[in-house]
Structure 1
C-alpha cells in the first residue's frame, strides 16, 4: 500500500492548481462551519455570562407567601439556600413610583445587590436610597443624614392611608437610565422595620431559593421541581417565577441544545452540498489518469484507495489552515459584533467587557471536533462516486471519460451551422448531471439566504411598533384601584370626573399639525363565573366607533359577528387572549358581567358573538363593543384613549403642545409611535446582527462554490476548447462561449435561489405568523437582499469569466490541446 500512498501524494503534487482550488474550498468551508458554531454559541455564552454576572442567582421565586409557609420553606430538604424579600409600601410621589422593599442577608446576596457607597440596613430605621429617589422627592442628603418620607403601606385590599417616618441614610444604590426613563425606583428598608409595620397575618414575602443538587438537573427539571414545591405549599402557578435568564446561563437547557443542533445541521448540510459538488466537478478529469494506472495492472481497490487518499491528503492539508484562520478570525468577529451591539444596554456593556477581558472562552474543543468530523465525513462521502467511477470503467473508457451520462441508442441531432449558443447548449446538455448538481448546490444556499431574509424583512420594527400604537401620538388615562390614599384613581371615580372631556378633545384637535383624533372608550367590571387563583376575573371592555368595523370583522378567527349586530347590545366580541386563560370559552357561550357604572354596579349578560385576534394597538382589552352600546349602558364619561394622527412636517411642535396639554392633568400619560419604534429597533438589533451574519456566511458558501465550479468547468476542458479553436474558433468567440456558460449557471442558480427561495420563504413567513414570532403578520418580499444576491452572483460571473479568459489566453494552442496528456 506504500505505492498507493506515494502515487496519491504524487498526484497531489502534480495537480497543484486543481488541488489548490479544492484545498481553498475545503479551508473556506471549514472556516464557515467553525465561525457559525463559534460565533453562534459564543454570542449565547457571552450573553449568558453577562446574565450570570448581572442577574440574581436564585433558581425560583415564590410570590405572596405567608409567614407560616415562609418558615416551613426555610427548613425544606430540597432547598439549599433561601432569601426573603418583603415589599412593605410605596413612597408618595406624584411623578414617580418608588417602592419600599426589605430583604434579609440571603436575599441581598441572591439578588446580587450592590451599593455605590455605604452599607445595607443594619438598624431598624436605616434606609438605602438612590440619588434619583432624592431628586424625585426634592430632598438633599448624604450618608448618615436623616430624611422624613411620606408613604403608604400595602394592605390586602390595596394601599393604606398615608404615614410619615424618619430614616437614616445608610447607603446609596445606583439609579440606572432605565429607572429615570420609566420613573420607577426602589428604596431598601430593614427587615425589622418591615415586620414592625405589617402585622404577621398580613405579611406576604417573595421567597427566593436555590435547589439542592441542581448541578445535576436541566432547566426544565429545576422549573418542574419548583412548581411541585409551590403546589405543596399552596402557591398558585402564576406566583411561581423561574429565573430563566440565570438558569439558561448555568444549566443545560433542552431547547437551547435543540436549537444548536438545528443550526449545526443546517451548516453541515450546506458544507456537505458544497464539498460534494467541488469534488464531483474536480475529480472527473482525474479518472483519465487512473485509467492509465489500471491499464498497467492496478486493481480496483488500489484505484479507489488512490482517489480516496489523494482527496483526504488535500483535506488534511486544508483543514488545519481553515481551523487556524477560524481560530483567529472568530474572536475578532465576536468582539466586533459585541462592541457594535453594546450601545447603551447595560447588559450588553457587561458582555462587551467580558469579551474584551477574555473572561469568556470562545474556543471549545467540541467545536473543533464537530468541524473536523463534518469536513472529513463530507470529503469521504464526496469521494465515494469518483472512487466508484475510476474503479468501474475500463481503461479505454477511462481514457476518454468526461463525466458524460450514458445514453441509449438514439438519432443524433446535428446542425448545418454551428453557433456559440449551440456549442454552449451541447456542453450543458451532455453534462446534465454536473450542471444540475452545481445549480442545485448553489441554489440550496440561496434558498436558505432567501428564507432568513424573508423572516427579517417581515419582522420590521416599524410594523411591530405600529401594532403597539395605531396612531402617531396617544393620550391615555392612568388609573388603578385599591389605593385608600388615592381613591380618585379608581376607574369608578375617574369616569365621573374624567379629564378627557369634549373641551379637552377639542383643544387636542386645534393643535397645529393634528389631522385626526379618534376616541376609544372603556368600561370595566367582573365576570363572576370566571376566576384564576381564587381571584374573580376582570371584565375590561373597549368601546370603538364605526370606523373600526372593518378591523374588528377582519380579526375574527372563530364565529362571525358584524358591527351592526354588536350595536344591538346582546352580543360581545371576545379577544383570543382570553382563550389562553380560559380555553373552554367558545362562540355562543353566555357571560354574565357585573359592570361598574360609577358608584353603582349593573349586571349584564352577553353572548360571545365571535372571537378575534387583535393587536395591542386596538386597546389590548379582553372584550370589544361599539361605543354606542357602552354609552347607552353607562351615562358617565367613558373616554379612555385618544389616538392622534399628526402631520409629518409638524410632529415636533405638535408633540410638544400635546405633551403640554396632557401635563395639565396628573391622570394622563402619553406615548408616541417614535418611542415604540426606538424600543423595538433596540430589541431587534441583536437578532438582526446575528441573522445577517448568518446570511453573509451562507452567501460565502454559495460564492465559494460558484468560483470553484466555473473555474473547474473551464480548466478541465482546455483540450476540448483548444481543439475547437484549432478548427477555426476565434478568441472572441471563445470568450463569448465562456460568458454564455457563466450566464447559464448564474440564471439557473438565481432561478432556484430567488424562485424556490421565495416560495419557501413565504412558507416560513406563514409558520412565523402562526407561531407569533416577532409579531410577524404581514408578508414582505425581501427586495434588497434578493437584488443584492442577484448583483453579487452576476458580478462574480463577469469577474470569473474575465479572470479565467485572461489566464486561458496565456496558454498556446498546442499547450491547450496537449492538456492532460
Structure 2
C-alpha cells in the first residue's frame, strides 16, 4: 500500500494546477461552513451573554398578585428565590411619565439594579432618583438632600388624588438616552413607604422568582411550570411573564437547537453539492493516467485507493488553510457586525463591549469538529463516482476517456460543414452531466440570491413606513382613562372639549404647503359579552369618510359589506385583529356595545358585516364605521386624528408650523412619515448587509467551480483542440469557441438563477405575506439585483474565458497535440 500512497502523493505534485484549484474550492467551502457556524452561533452567544449581563435573572414574573398569594408563594417548595416589586404611584409632571416603584432586596438583586452613586433605600423616606428625573421636575439635588414631590397613588380603578411628600435622596440611577427620548423614568422608594401608602387589601405585587432545580430543565419546561404555579394561585395567563431572553441565554432552548440543525443541514448540503461537482469534473482528466497503471497490473482496489488518497491529500492540505483563514476572519466579521448593529441600542452596546474585550468565546472545538467532518465526508462522497469510473474502465477506454456520457446508439450525427457553434454544441452535448452539474451549482446560488433579493425588495422601507402612517404628517389626540388627577384626559371628557375643532382644522389647512387634510373620528365603549382575564373587552371604533370606501372593501377577507351598507348603521366592519383574541367571532354575529357618549352611555347592537385586514395607518382599531354613522349616534366632537398631506418642496417649513400649532395644546401629539422611514431604513440596511455577505461567500465557491469546469474542459481536450488547429482552425476561432462555451454556461446559469429564482422568490413572497413578515403585502420584482446578477455573471464569464484562453495559448501546437497523461 506504500506504493499506492506514494503514487497518490506524486499525482498531487504532478497535477499542481488542477489540485490547487480544487484546494481553493475546498478552502472556500471550509471557510463558508466555519464562518456560518461561528458567526451564526457567535451572534446568538454574544447577544445571550449581553442579555445575561444586562437583563434581570429571574425566571418568571407574576403581575397583580395579592398580599395573601404573595406570602404563599414565598414558601412554595418549587421556588428557590423570590423577589417583590410594587408600583405605588406616579409623579405628577406635564411632559414625562415618572413611575414610583419599590423593591425588596431580592427584587433588587434579581433585577440587577445598579446605581451610579449612593445606596438603595434603607429608611422609609429614602428615594433613588436619576438626574433626568430631577431635570424634568426642575429640582436641584444631591445625595442627602431632601426633595418634595407631588404624586398620585395607584388605585384599583385608576389613579388617586394628588399628594405631596418629602424624601431624602439616597442614591442616583442612570438615565439612558432612551429614557430621555421616551420621557419615561422610574424612581425607587422603600418597600416600607409603599406598604404604608397602600392598604393591604389594595396591594398588588410583581412577584419575580427562580425555580428550584431549573438547571435540569429546558426553557419550555420552565415556562410550563411557571404557568402551572400561576394557575394554582389564580394568576391569569396574561399576567404570567417569562424572562425569555434570560432563559434562552442560560438554558437549553429546543427551538434554538432545531434552528441550528436546520442551518447546519443547509450548509452541509451546499458543501456537498459544491465539492462533489468540483471533484467530479476535476478527476476526469486523471482517468487516462489510471488506465495506464491498470494496464501494467494495478488492481481495481488499488486504482480506487489512488483516486481516494489523492483527493483526500488535497483535502487535507486545503482544510487547515481554510480553518486558519476562517479563525481569523470570523472574529473580524463578528466585530464589524456587532459594531454596525450597536447604534444607540444599550443591549447591543453591551454586546459590542463584550466582543471587544474578548469576554465571549467565538471559537469552539465542536465548530472545528463539525467543519472538518463535513468537508472530509463530502470529499469522500464526492470521490465515489470518479473512483468507480477509474476502476471500471478498461485500459484502452481509459486512454481515450474524456468523461463523455455513454450512448445507447452507435450512430453519430455529423455535418458536411463544420462551424464554431457546431463544435461548441457537440462538446457541450457529449458532456451533459458535467455541464449540468456546473450550471446547477451556480444556479443554486443564484436562486438563493433571487429569493433573498425578492424578500428585501418587497420589504421596502418606504412601503412599510407608509403602512405605519398614512399621510406625510399626523396630529393626533393623546388620551387615557382611570386618572383621578387628570379626568380631563379621559376620552369621554375630551370629546366634549376637543381641541381638534373646525377652526383648528382650518388653521392646519391654511398652513403653506398643506395640500390635503383628512379627519378620522373615534368612539369607544365596551362589549359586555366579551371578556379577557375577567375584564370586559373594550370597543374602539374608527370613523372614516367616503374617500376610504375602496380601501375598506379591498381589505375585506371574510364576508362583504359596502360603504353604503355600513352607512345604514346596523352593520359594522370588524378588524381581523379581533380574531386573535376571539376566534369564535364570525360574519353575521350580533355584537351589543355600550358606547360612551360624553357623560352618557348608549347601547347599540351591530351585525358583523365583514372582517377586514388593515394596516396600522388606517387607525389600528378593532372596528370601522362611516363618520356619518358616528355623528348621528354621538353629538360630541369625535375628531381624533388629522392625516395631513404636504407638498414635498415645502415640507420643512410646513412641519415646523404644524408642530407649533400642535404645541398649543397639551392633548396633541405628532408624527411624520420621515421618522418612520428612517427607522425602517436602518433595520433593512442591516438585514441586507448580512444576507448579501453570505451570498457573496457562497457565490465565490460557485465561481471556483466554474473556473474548475472550464479549465478541465480545456485540459481533457488539449490534444483534440491541437489536432483541430493543425487542420485549419485559427487561434481566433479557438477563442470564439471558448467564448461560446462560456456564453452557454452564462445563459444556463442565468436561466436557472433568474428564471427559477424568480418563481421561487414569488413563492417566498406569498409565504411572507401570509405570515405578515416585515408587513409585506405587494410583490416587487427585484429588477436592480437581477440586473446586477446578470452583469456580474457575464463579467466573470468574460474574465474567465480570457484567462483560460491566455493560459492555453502559452502552449505550442506540437505540445498540445503531444499532450497525454
TM over 0.5: same fold?
Answer: yes
Specify the TM-score bucket, using the shorter chain as the normaliser.
Answer: over 0.9
For the Cα contact (< 8 Å) 1:98–1:184, is it kept in 2? Answer: yes
Change in 2 beyond 3 A, CA 1:14/1:710:
same
Aligned mates of 1:115, 1:3 — CA distance in 2: 74
Shift of 1:796: 1.1
Aligned mates of 1:300, 1:11 — CA distance in 2: 18
Shift of 1:681: 3.1
Shift of 1:412: 2.9
Aligned mates of 2:334, 2:379 — CA distance in 1: 28
For the Cα contact (< 8 Å) 2:315–2:376, is it kept in 1? Answer: yes
For the Cα contact (< 8 Å) 2:89–2:153, is it kept in 1? Answer: yes
Q: Partner of 2:629 in structure 1?
A: 629
Shift of 1:62: 0.7
Aligned mates of 1:670, 1:417 — CA distance in 2: 78
CA deviations on 1:544-597 (whole Å, 9 max, x unpaired) are: 111111111111111111111111111111111111110110111100000011
Aligned mates of 2:688, 2:236 — CA distance in 1: 38
Q: Partner of 2:641 in structure 1?
A: 641
Aligned mates of 1:68, 1:698 — CA distance in 2: 61
For the Cα contact (< 8 Å) 2:46–2:355, is it kept in 1? Answer: yes
Structure 2 counterpart SS, 1:99 = strand
Structure 2 counterpart SS, 1:166 = strand
Structure 2 counterpart SS, 1:168 = strand
* 1:605 maps onto 2:605 in alignment: yes
CA deviations on 1:250-296 (whole Å, 9 max, x unpaired) are: 12222122222222222211111111110111011111111111112
Q: TM-score, normalised by structure 2?
A: 0.99
Aligned mates of 1:459, 1:589 — CA distance in 2: 36
Aligned mates of 2:436, 2:340 — CA distance in 1: 41
CA deviations on 1:181-217 (whole Å, 9 max, x unpaired) are: 1111111111110000000000001111111121221
Shift of 1:360: 0.6
Q: TM-score, normalised by structure 1?
A: 0.99
The gaps in structure 1 that reach 5 residues or longer are none
Aligned mates of 2:682, 2:806 — CA distance in 1: 49
For the Cα contact (< 8 Å) 1:96–1:184, is it kept in 2? Answer: yes
For the Cα contact (< 8 Å) 1:448–1:698, is it kept in 2? Answer: no
Shift of 1:111: 1.0
Shift of 1:434: 0.9
Aligned mates of 1:225, 1:683 — CA distance in 2: 36
For the Cα contact (< 8 Å) 2:21–2:704, is it kept in 1? Answer: no
Shift of 1:410: 5.4
CA deviations on 1:135-193 (whole Å, 9 max, x unpaired) are: 11111111111111100000000000000000111111111111111111111111110
Structure 2 counterpart SS, 1:142 = coil
Aligned mates of 2:53, 2:677 — CA distance in 1: 29
Aligned mates of 2:707, 2:241 — CA distance in 1: 53
Shift of 1:60: 1.0
Shift of 1:692: 2.5
Aligned mates of 1:652, 1:455 — CA distance in 2: 33
Shift of 1:352: 1.1
For the Cα contact (< 8 Å) 1:662–1:668, is it kept in 2? Answer: yes
CA deviations on 1:659-684 (whole Å, 9 max, x unpaired) are: 11111111111111111222233444
Shift of 1:687: 3.1
Shift of 1:506: 0.6
Q: Partner of 2:331 in structure 1?
A: 331
Change in 2 beyond 3 A, CA 1:632/1:430:
same
For the Cα contact (< 8 Å) 1:527–1:539, is it kept in 2? Answer: yes
Structure 2 counterpart SS, 1:328 = helix
Shift of 1:700: 2.1
Aligned mates of 1:192, 1:137 — CA distance in 2: 24
Shift of 1:2: 2.1
Shift of 1:716: 2.6
| Greater CA drift, 456-465 or 147-156 | 456-465
Aligned mates of 1:705, 1:47 — CA distance in 2: 36
Shift of 1:310: 1.1
Structure 1 counterpart SS, 2:497 = coil
Aligned mates of 2:230, 2:774 — CA distance in 1: 32
CA deviations on 1:402-460 (whole Å, 9 max, x unpaired) are: 11111122543322221111111111111111111111111011111111222222222
Shift of 1:43: 1.3
| Greater CA drift, 708-717 or 49-58 | 708-717
CA deviations on 1:59-93 (whole Å, 9 max, x unpaired) are: 11111011111111111111111111110000011
Structure 2 counterpart SS, 1:252 = coil
Change in 2 beyond 3 A, CA 1:104/1:208:
same
Aligned mates of 1:784, 1:44 — CA distance in 2: 32
Aligned mates of 2:678, 2:169 — CA distance in 1: 37
Shift of 1:685: 4.6
Shift of 1:708: 2.0
For the Cα contact (< 8 Å) 1:446–1:702, is it kept in 2? Answer: no
Aligned mates of 1:606, 1:534 — CA distance in 2: 23
Structure 2 counterpart SS, 1:655 = helix
Change in 2 beyond 3 A, CA 1:726/1:6:
same
For the Cα contact (< 8 Å) 1:449–1:699, is it kept in 2? Answer: no
Aligned mates of 1:210, 1:683 — CA distance in 2: 34
Aligned mates of 1:695, 1:466 — CA distance in 2: 30
Change in 2 beyond 3 A, CA 1:209/1:682:
farther
For the Cα contact (< 8 Å) 1:341–1:685, is it kept in 2? Answer: no
Aligned mates of 1:752, 1:792 — CA distance in 2: 15
Q: Please, what is the CA RMSD of the aligned residues?
A: 1.2
CA deviations on 1:721-755 (whole Å, 9 max, x unpaired) are: 11111111111111111111111101110110111
| Greater CA drift, 623-632 or 406-415 | 406-415
Q: How many residue pairs were aligned?
A: 821
The gaps in structure 2 that reach 5 residues or longer are none
* 1:89 maps onto 2:89 in alignment: yes
Aligned mates of 2:206, 2:689 — CA distance in 1: 38
For the Cα contact (< 8 Å) 1:65–1:207, is it kept in 2? Answer: yes
Shift of 1:647: 1.2
Q: Partner of 1:505 in structure 2?
A: 505
Structure 2 counterpart SS, 1:444 = helix
For the Cα contact (< 8 Å) 2:285–2:712, is it kept in 1? Answer: no
Structure 1 counterpart SS, 2:526 = strand
